[in-house]
Chains A and B, each alone.
Chain A
Amino acid sequence: MINDNKVAAGENAGTGSSGHTATPMIRMSNVKKSFGDKHILRGIDLEVKKGESLVVIGGSGTGKSVLLKNILGILEPDEGTIEVDGHVTTHMRGRARVELMHKFGMLFQGAALFDSLPVWENVAFGLIHGEKMSKGQAREIAVEKINAVGLSAQRVADLYPAELSGGMQKRVGLARAIATSPEIIFFDEPTTGLDPIMADVINDLIVESVKGLGATALSITHDMASARKIADKIAMIYEGEIIWCGDIKDLDNSGNPYVEQFIHGRAEGPISKHSDFAKSAKSKA
């Protein structure tokens, strides 16, 4: 199923960005994950080079969030291997896992803010507890990051998450993900629920985090405008496998009917015939 395009694009991208990247920052080979008899990931092969921004696209419920959680170690794959910066991390536990987590920043799809803590402590959490920074210093960085995501720190820093709108919570989640300046950042639908202007602010911020700080990014989005802005490469997941992976510039002439249907948002095409959603929609009609 895997397109030849993937291999070609994968080899080119590294040389374009930083040159010395023989080992990819993230590599998944044949990763499988099931919940009961629901086979969500059915052999994922994916590589992200250092300093590269990869965007994963794919239908709702195809396992994009599950894919991120497998790399993070929140879920454990049933089969296959995951390597981070050349080290196998598939079943890593304990102290080694905690050390590995220092490399990661994650924006959750539902923000996942700690509702017992004020906004600034949410953003500063990784600095205070993970990096053992003093509270005063951590607050300064938190305020800076809150402003960077387009919120007024003066107004929101001491509010609790429940007092914010969904889009504001999402941005606080983003501020928390980048607060520790991690090497690898995961964004699960960073622009969902934001107005178009704020979405673009966030896109710029992601580009800046990746290009400015040299981080590696793996994002998930349904927002094709956002994908085009933040991606160096695009991968499409369908039925538990990566069916296409290539440079963003090749997206419009991928020659892959699944990708074409997805990026143009057409109801008719190869995807609707198989997806669960289409089945249930038909049976209702």
Chain B
Amino acid sequence: MPFTLVLNIFAAVGQSFLSFFAAVGRLFVFAAKAVGHIFAPPFFGRITLKQFMDIGYYSLPVVGMTTLFTGMVLALQSYTGFTRFNAEGAIASVVVLSITRELAPVLAGLMVAGRVGASIAAEIATMRVTEQIDALVTLSVNPFKYLIVPRIVAGTLMLPILVLIGDIIGIMGGYIVSVHALDFSVGSYLKQTFDVLQAADVISGLVKAAVFGFIVTLMGCYHGFNSGRGAQGVGAATTNAVVSASILILIFNYVLTQVFFS
């Protein structure tokens, strides 16, 4: 009796391992297919531009607010910490380094996963459920080119731009708190800021952003495209897109940090 129980547990674990690898395999095939279609005509320029607006421009307020308050709180927190060691001078470097290397890309990625990833998944899943994707096929249009490529291209290109703007706003947030609330002098804070600011830090953040943009839009498209049937399918697709994109962002953030800074 206990022996069969152990066997059953092994079987269940094995089963979930197998289905996990099968899922990863399907995702890889999907991603490879999507990337392949990016470089082969026909291209849908106008639709891609619309996605640039939807994914990039309309995410600006969310990303701006997130990085602004993050920069502000960083200045505040490091001030309370650093005054104990008389190290207030390091506040600017903490703000600049954390924003550009980590916080702007990761937080922007997570916010965009919630905003854009969810809406991509819901939209494409609804199209799947209502047979609009089948209708595309019957009208001689490849759904990968028409639906997926524009979103993935827009996500991969727009997130770095969003993060660059987020960098600026976040550093400004730190500046505002330091100068107006903590009574730093404008000149010395700005000097410290520009002393620590390095292209490599900013660029590493932007590369991360591009990867995160790809992940968010890929997961939205993948879960939407393979959605189950009915309203339940759409709901599950949306949840899965956001959760999987968020977790992958955190994992890839670690991997990329390891690659860049070791």
Contacts and interface: CB of A to CB of B under 8 A. Distances in A.
Contacts of A104: 138
Contacts of A115: 130, 132
Interface string B138-159: 1111100010000000000000
Interface stretch (A77-85, A123-131, A139-147, A201-209): A123-131
30 contacts: A69-B134, A72-B134, A74-B134, A74-B138, A98-B140, A98-B142, A101-B137, A101-B140, A104-B138, A106-B135, A106-B138, A108-B135, A112-B130, A112-B131, A112-B132, A112-B134, A112-B135, A114-B132, A114-B135, A115-B130, A126-B139, A126-B140, A129-B139, A129-B140, A129-B141, A130-B139, A130-B140, A130-B141, A176-B135, A176-B139
Nearest to A94: B142
B139 A72 contact: no
Contacts of B137: 72-74, 101
A129 B141 CA distance: 7
A: interface residue count bin:
20 to 34
A140 B135 CA distance: 22
Contacts of A61: none
A102 interface: yes
Interface string A102-117: 1011101110111100
Interface of A: 69, 72-74, 98, 101-102, 104-106, 108-110, 112-115, 125-126, 129-130, 176, 180
Given A114-B132, A129-B141, 20 more contacts: A72-B138, A74-B137, A74-B138, A101-B138, A102-B140, A104-B138, A106-B138, A108-B131, A108-B134, A112-B130, A112-B131, A113-B132, A114-B136, A115-B132, A125-B141, A129-B140, A130-B139, A130-B140, A130-B141, A180-B139
The 5 closest A-B pairs by CB, nearest first: A130-B140, A112-B131, A126-B139, A112-B135, A106-B138
Contacts of B146: 129
A150 B125 CA distance: 31
A114 B136 CA distance: 9
Interface residues of B, number: 15
B11 to A, nearest CB: 21
Contacts of A108: 131, 134-135
Nearest to A114: B132
A126 to B, nearest CB: 4
Contacts of B139: 101, 125-126, 129-130, 176, 180
A283 to B, nearest CB: 24
Contacts of A176: 135, 139
Contacts of B127: 114
Interface in B197-223: none
Nearest to A73: B137
B140 to A, nearest CB: 4
A112 B138 CA distance: 11
Contacts of B135: 106, 108, 112-114, 176
A108 B139 CA distance: 12
Contacts of B141: 125, 129-130
Contacts of A114: 127, 132, 135-136
